[in-house]
Amino acid sequence: MTWLRPGPPCISAATYNRFMHIVVIAWLYVTVLMALAESSLVAGILTLLFYGVVPIALLLRLFGGPVRRRAARLSQDASRTTSGADADKPAQ
């Protein structure tokens, strides 16, 4: 029962990403409404692209870096422990 252990509360990466995705969804909602209010189709597509998709992609790329690095480090650690456990087994 790990939830009974005393200590500081653990904030996982999933909680951080959930709130980040709420901001992303809200901003994309605003930019879709801005694109719908444009006078032409080309202006609407460009508004959606340059006010919505490009900034959101940049934001997620910049702020998702620590999570990606942590996941890569955990996968490297897991592969090291599994390869180290295989090296301890005798050859048959």
pLDDT in tens, 9-49: 555 555 556 677 888 899 999 999 999 999 999 999 999 99
Q: Is residue 41 part of a domain?
A: yes
Q: Is residue 78 part of a domain?
A: yes
Residues 6+ apart with CB under 8 A from 51: 31, 34, 35
Q: What domain count does the chain have?
A: 1
Q: Is residue 43 part of a domain?
A: yes
27 touches 52 (CB < 8 A) = yes
Q: Would you state the pLDDT for residue 87?
A: 54
Q: Which domain holds residue 46?
A: 21-84
Q: Is residue 15 part of a domain?
A: no
